[in-house]
Structure 1
Amino acid sequence: MKPNVPGGFRPDRELDRNWLRWMALFWLCVVVWFLYDRQGNIYWLLLGDTDDNMRLMQVRAWLAGQGWYDLRQYRLDPALGGADIHWSRLVDLPLAGLILAFKPFVGIATAERWACGLAPLLPLSVAMAGLSLAVRRLIAPWAWPVALVVLLGCTSTMSMYAPMRIDHHGWQLAFLALTVAGLADPKRARGGATVGLASAASLTIGLEMLPYCAMAGAIIALRWIWDRGDVRRMQVYALTLGGGSAFGFAVFASDANQVLRCDALTPVWLSVMIAAGALLFGLSLLNPANRWVRLALAALAGGVIVVGFALLFPQCLGRPEQVSDELANTWLNNVREARPIYKHAFKTAFPMAVLPVIGVLGALFATWRARRSEALVGWAAVALFTAFASAMLLWQVRAAPAAQLLAVPGSAALLVVVVPWFLGLRAPFARWIGEVPAMVLGVVLRVFGTVAAFLLLSGLWAGLVVPWFSADKGAKPGKPAPPDRVAAANAACARLSNLRMLNDIPAATIFTHVDLGPRLIVTTHHSAIAGPYHRNGRAILDVHHAFTWATPNFRPIAKAHGAQYLLICPNMSETTLYRARGPNGFYAQLVKGQVPNWLEPVKLREVRPGAPLPFQLWKIRYDLPDAPTPAPTKR
C-alpha cells in the first residue's frame, strides 16, 4: 500500500525522487537533538569508554607531530617505551579535521570538545544512507523513512553514534550498512564493488567485523553458485576486496602492524584477503555452466584458504589477541562485552535480542513474499546475513549493535505491511456486531492497533517490558533501591572536575587501575602504567599483580614502571577483581586502612568545599625500608 493524498502531491513520489535530500534533513534533525541532549557531556569532555579516551590521545599525539605510522601511546608506561596500540589512523582523520577546523575560532580545548561531539554523527549519515538504499531496493523507493525510524529505536546501535563516542565502532557499523546495500543492489558490478570496498575499509579500521565481512563474501559466492549470471558481482567484489585491503594496509597500517600479528590488518590478513580475492576472481573467469561444479570449485577455494591459513599462520588459529592464559583469565575473559548474551542479566540481554529476532522473522517473511519477484535473491541474502548476525550474540554480546542494525530491513518489511493494514480498517465485523459498533471498533483498531503494531515490530516494546521484570521485588514500598556503588565510583573517578585536581602536583607517572589509565592521561598532564589493550599484557598483569599480591610486592613492580604516585578509586568495577583474586592482597589491605609506611598521603583540593574527591592518592617512597603495616585506627 503506497501513501497518497488528494491534491496532486504524492508523498511516495517525493520520497523517491528526493530521498537523499530528505534523508539528509532527517539526519540533521537527529544531529541537532543529539547535540542538545548531550551538551553537558560535550562541555565536560565526558568520553565514557576507555577506547574513546585513547582515540583522542591518538589524535592529539598525531597533531602534535607523532609519525603517521607510529601509533604507540608514549604516556602509557613511559618508562618501558610506551604502549602499542593496534589501531589505524583511518578513523583519526575526521576527528583531526574537525579539531583543526574549530581550533582557530574557539581554541584547542573547545575545539576538541566539539569535534568529539560531532565526529560520531558523521558515520551515522553513512549508516542511514546504506540502510535507506537497502530498503529502497528491497521494499519500495518510498519506504526508507520507516527504516530510519526503526534505526532510532536500536539502542545498542545508536549508542555507537552518540556524541563523544569517537571510537571506530560507528564507522564499522556504517560500512556494514553499506554492505547490506551492496548485497541488495540489483546492479551486479556496483553491488560487488560496494561490498568489497566496504569490507576493505572495515578491515583497515580493525578486525571486529571480520566475521561479517567473511559472511558477506560467502553470500556473494553463494549467489554466483545459484545464479551463474551473477558472476559480475563476484568478479568486481574480488577485485575491490583485494585491492582495497592492499590500499588500506599500505596507507594506514602502523609500523607495529607490519609484522605477522593476528589482531589487525597485518601481512597475515592482507594475505588472506588478496588470496580470497584472487581465487574468487579466478572462479569468475572459469564460470562453469553446471551449478554443482560451481559449488565444488567454491568449496575447493574455501578449503585452500583455510588450509593455507592453518599452514602459514598457525599462531593465529587461537585467539587473535595472542594473549597468555594468565592474562586471559585475569583480564580478557572478564570483559563484559566479550561474554555471550545468555550470560548477561535479563535487563541487559532482552532489549538487545528482541529486534534481531524480529529482523530475522521479517526478512524471512519478505523473502517468502518476494518468491516470484526479482527481489527474492536480495532478500534471501539479507535474511541469511541477519540470521548470522543474530547468532553472533551467542558468541559475544558486543555483536548487539551489528545485529540490531542488520535487523532494520526485516523490521521495516513487516511494518510496511502490518501498519497500513491497521490504518485501512474502517468497520470490521459489521455483519456480526452492527455498523456503528464496527465503526467504533475500526477507530480503536486504527489508533491502538497501529501503535501496538509499531511498538511490537520495531522492538520498542522491549524497553517497556524490562523495567517491570527488572523491578526489585524485595524493595520495601516507599524506599528507593540501594545505590549502585560500582557505577557511582566509575562515574565519579572519571569525572573531569575531579581528575583535573591531580594537575596540582607536577607531571608524574601514576600507578592506577588499568581502566582508569586512558582517562587519566586525557584529563591530566600525568602518565599512567596501562590501559585495556591486549598488546601490553605485561603492564596489565603487573597492575593486577601489584594490587592482588602481598603488600611487599607492590614497590618493586611500581619501580620497574617508573611510578611515582599511587592512585586508587575504591569500588571502581576493576577493583572487584582485585578483591576476588587477592582477598588479602595489597589493594584489600589499603581499603581496610592498612597503609604501609612508604606511602605518603597527598592532600588535593576539593572541587568545592565539603565535596571530597572520590579517589585516594599517595606518593611512593622508595627510600624508606619496609615496616609493619599499621592497623587501621578505630573511630
Structure 2
Amino acid sequence: MEKLKQVFDRRWRLLLLIAWALFCAWLIYSRWNYIRGFILTDTDDNMRMSQVRAWMNGQGWFDLRQYKMNTPYGINIHWSRLVDLPIAGLILLGRLFITGPHAEQMAVAVAPLIPLALMMTSLSLIIRRLVAPAAWPLAIGCLFFAGSTMGMFQPTRIDHHNWQLALLALGCAGIADKKRARGGVVLGIATALSLSIGLEMLIYLALGGVTLVLFWIFDRDERRRLATYAVTLAGGTALGFLVFASYANRGPVCDALSPVWMSDALLGGALLLCLASWSPVKWQIRLGAAAAAGIAIAAFHALAWPHCLSRLEGASPELYKLWLSHVREARPIYAHGWRTATFTLALPIAGAIGWALLVWEARRDWSRLLKVAGVALSAIAATLLLFWQTRTGPAAQMLAIPGAVALVWTWAPRAFASNNTIVRVFGTTLIVLGGLGAAAPIILDQIPDKTQTPRDKKIGLANNLCPSLWAMKPVAQQPQGIVFTFGDLAPRLITVTHHYSITGPYHRNGTQIIDMMHAFMWSPDQAHAIIKKYRSDYVLVCPMMSQSTLFKSDAPNGFYSQLDKGKIPAWLQPIDLGKGSPLKMWKVVG
C-alpha cells in the first residue's frame, strides 16, 4: 500500500492525464448519439453555437446581439466571447481535415473536455495540498457520482458553466497553495477570467477574496498572497473588461462584467494592495483596517450603482410572473421532490462531514487550518444556496469532493483495521460508498420511481423529438422566414435551420419574452397583432413540450390552446411537415 501511495504521489501528473483521457473516452462513448445527432440539449448550448457561427461569419467581436432573433434589431445576449474562442478554434482546426458540419460535431464533443481537464487538475491540487498527496485518485471516483457537476462537462454541453466551475476549482486551489504569492495570483486570475465569462460564480469568488483577507488578519505573513491577489484581480478584471465586454456591457448593467463590477474590482484591488503594503503588526488593527475597507467598497457600490442592489437580472414583475418564476433551476432544491434532492445533496452532505473532519484535524496547525476553512467556506455556501436555487448544485457537488475524499481517506482505513468483522466489512463499505457519493444513487436505483403518467411520457417525448434534426428537417426545407415559436424552442430553430425567430429564454429581452408569452396565452386576435408586429412568416409549435403545458394550464382559452384543439384561425395556413412529425407549423397568410 505504501508503494502504491508513493506512485500516486510521484507520478500524479502522468496518472491524472491518463485518468482524464479515460474519462474523455468514456464520456464520448456514452454521448456518441448526442454528438452524431448534433443534440445540444440546452437552449444555451444552441445559442452558444449560433453566437460562434455569427462571429466566424463576420459579426463584430464586441457585438454580441443575436440577429437571427427579433430581426433586424437582434436580441441582447449578455455573454462574452471568451468561451467562444476554444469552440471556434476547434471548428477551424477540424475544417482542415473534415467537412464543416463534422467539424462542428467534433468541436461540441471536445470543447467541454478542456475545462474538464482544468477542473480535475484543480481538484487534485486541492486534495494533495489539504488531504494527502496520494489521495487525489479518490476524486475521480467522486466525479462518477457527481451527476450535477459532470452534467456540465459532457460532450455537446458547450455553454459557459463548465468553464466557470473549472475556474472556481482553480481559485480554490490558489487558496490552498502553500506558496503565498502564487496562490494569490492563481485566485486573482481565476476570478478575473470567471467574471469575464459571467457573474454566476460571483458569491464564491467574493468569498475567496474575503478568505484571503482573513488569512492576512490572522497571519501578517500572508500579505504577499493578498498583494498578488489584489494586483491580478484588479488588472485581470480591467483587462477582461477591455478585451471581452460587449457594446451592451459597456453600460452600467448589473448582470455581466461592466463598469459596475470593474470599478468595484479596481477599488477593491487598490484597497487590498494598500492593506497588504501597510500590514500593521497588531491583528486588531488589521481587522479594523479590513472592516473599513469592506465598508468603503460596499458604500461605493451602493452609492455609485444603487440599481445593482437587487436581483441582477433586472426582470420586471410581469416578466418574473410570466416566465422566470417557472424556470426549474431557479427553484429551491426542496421544490424538486425527494429523489432529486437526495441525489443532489448526498455528495455535499458527505463533503460537509469531511470538511469538518479536516478542520478538526488541522486545529493545531494554524496555517493549514486557514486553508482548509477557506475552501470549506465556499463549499458550505454552495450547499446552503441549494435551498435558494437548484442551479448551485454543480458547484455544491464539485466543492464537496475534497471533503468527501478526506472522509474516505481518513476513516476507511480505520474501519478496515478494526478487529470487529462487521465494522471492518460493512463500516468500510459504508464509508467508501457514502463518502464518494455512490450510496445514494445505488439506493435510489433500487427504489421504484413513481410511475410516469401518460401525460408525463408525452411531455418527455415531445421535449426529445421536437428539437431533433429529424423533426427540424422539414421545417428547414420551407422558404426562409421569421418563425414565431416558443422561447424554449427558438434557439434550437435558429441553430439547425436557416430561419429567424423572435426570442429565447434570455432575461435582457423582456419585451420579446412577454410578447411571446402573451401571444400564446391571449386571444387569437391579440396573438395575430403580436405576430404581425414581428413580421412573422410562420407559426411553429410543439404540442406537449414543457412550455406548451404552461400555456394550456394558465390560459385554457388562449391562442395556443385553440391551436391545440384544432381551432385554426383563417390567417394561418397549415404546412405539411410529414407523417409523424411532432411539430405543427402554419404559414401566416393574413
Q: Report the TM-score when normalising by structure 2.
A: 0.97
**Partner letter of residue 534 of structure 1?**
H
Q: Secondary structure of the residue that 1:394 maps to in structure 2?
A: coil
Q: 2:433 aligns with which of 449, 455, 458?
A: 455
Any residues of structure 2 matched to 1:8-27 within 5 Å, and which? 10-27=3-20
Determine if the alignment matches structure 1 residue 64 to structure 2 residue 42: no
Residues 415-494 of structure 1 correspond to what in structure 2 (within 5 A)? 415-425=408-418, 428-429=419-420, 441=421, 446=424, 448-467=426-445, 471-472=449-450, 483-494=456-467
Q: Which moved more, 1:257-266 or 1:463-472?
A: 463-472
Change (3 A) 1:470 1:204: farther
Q: 1:381 is matched with which residue: 362, 374, 385? A: 374
- The equivalent residue for 2:535 is 562
Alignment partner of 1:620 is 2:588: yes
Give 1:464 shift. 2.6
Q: CA separation in 1, counterparts of 2:278 and 2:351? A: 37
* Pairwise CA RMSD: 1.6
d(CA) in 1 for partners of 2:456, 2:226: 55
8 Å CA contact 1:502, 1:604 repeated in 2: yes
Provide the residue aligned with 1:512 in structure 2.
485
1:85 is aligned to 2:63:
no
Counterpart selection for 2:569 from 584, 596, 610: 596
The match for 2:25 is 32
Is 1:230–2:203 an aligned residue pair?
no
Q: 1:53 aligns with which of 36, 46, 52?
A: 46
CA displacement 1:402-430 (0-9 Å, x = unmatched)? 011110111000111222224434xx25x
1:79-478 correspondence runs (5 A): 79=72, 81-373=73-365, 374-425=367-418, 428-429=419-420, 441=421, 446=424, 448-467=426-445, 471-472=449-450
Contact 1:347-1:470 within 8 A present in 2 as well: no
Q: Distance in 1 between matches of 2:98 and 2:144?
A: 32
Report the AA paired with residue 382 of structure 2: A
Structure 1 residue 496: Cα displacement: 1.1
**One-letter amino acid of the counterpart of residue 392, structure 1:** L
Q: Distance in 1 between matches of 2:456 and 2:65?
A: 39
Aligned residue pair count = 589
In 1, the alpha carbon distance for the partners of 2:471 and 2:557 equals: 29
Instruction: Note the residue ranges of structure 1 that are not aligned, 5 or more in a row.
Output: 5-9, 430-440, 607-611, 623-635
**Contact 1:346–1:470, Cα closer than 8 Å, also in 2:** no
Question: Gapped runs of 5+ residues in structure 2?
Answer: none
Q: Which amino acid aligns with 1:75?
A: K
Cα distance in 1, alignment partners of residues 48 and 509 from structure 2:
17
SS at match of 1:406: helix
Q: Distance in 2 between matches of 1:385 and 1:295?
A: 21
Q: Distance in 1 between matches of 2:453 and 2:159?
A: 36
TM-aligned CA deviation for residue 451 of structure 1? 3.0
**1:333-377 per-position Cα deviation (integer Å, ceiling 9, x unaligned):** 211101111222112122111211211111111111122234222
Q: Structure 1 vs Structure 2: percent identity of aligned residues? A: 46
**Partners of 1:66 and 1:210 in 2: CA distance:** 29
What is the rounded CA distance, in whole Å, between the counterparts of 1:242 and 1:289 in structure 2?
26
2: CA distance between counterparts of 1:597 and 1:338?
Answer: 39
Output one character per residue of 1:65-95: Cα deviation in whole Å (capped at 9) or x when no partner: 111111111101114x111111000001111
Q: Cα distance, 1:289 vs. partner?
A: 1.7
User: Does the aligned pair in 1 maintain the 2:145–2:441 contact within 8 Å?
Assistant: no
Q: Describe the SS at the equivalent of 1:617.
A: strand
Letter of the 2:432 counterpart: F
Residue of structure 1 equivalent to 2:498 = 525
CA 1:482/1:549 → structure 2, altered by over 3 Å: closer, same or farther? closer
1:500 counterpart = 2:473: yes
| Conserved? CA contact 1:347–1:467, under 8 Å | no
Q: Mean alpha-carbon deviation: is it higher for 556-565 or for 572-581?
A: 572-581
Contact 1:511 1:565 in 2 (8 A): yes
Q: Measure, in 1, the Cα distance between the counterparts of 2:66 and 2:236.
A: 28
User: Is the radius of gyration larger for structure 1 or structure 2?
Assistant: 1
Paired residues of 2:76 and 2:509 also in contact (CA < 8 A): yes
Amino acid at match of 1:363: W
Q: Distance between the aligned counterparts of 1:38 and 1:385, measured in 2?
A: 31
Q: CA deviation at 1:448?
A: 4.6
The CA deviation string for residues 492-531 of structure 1, in whole angstroms up to 9 with x for no partner, is: 1111111111122111110000000000011111111110
Q: What SS is found at the alignment partner of 2:253?
A: coil
Report the TM-score, using the length of structure 1 for normalisation: 0.90
Q: Partners of 1:511 and 1:470 in 2: how far apart?
A: 41
Q: Which residue of 2 aligns with 1:628?
A: none
Give me the whole-angstrom Cα distance separating, in 2, the residues matched to 1:311 and 1:342: 36
* Alpha-carbon distance in structure 2 between the residues aligned to 1:62 and 1:470: 48
Using a 3 Å threshold, how does the CA distance of structure 1 residues 273 and 470 change in structure 2: closer, same or farther?
farther
Distance 1:568 1:363 in 2: 49
Q: Distance in 2 between matches of 1:135 and 1:377?
A: 15
Q: 2:518 aligns with which of 545, 550, 566?
A: 545
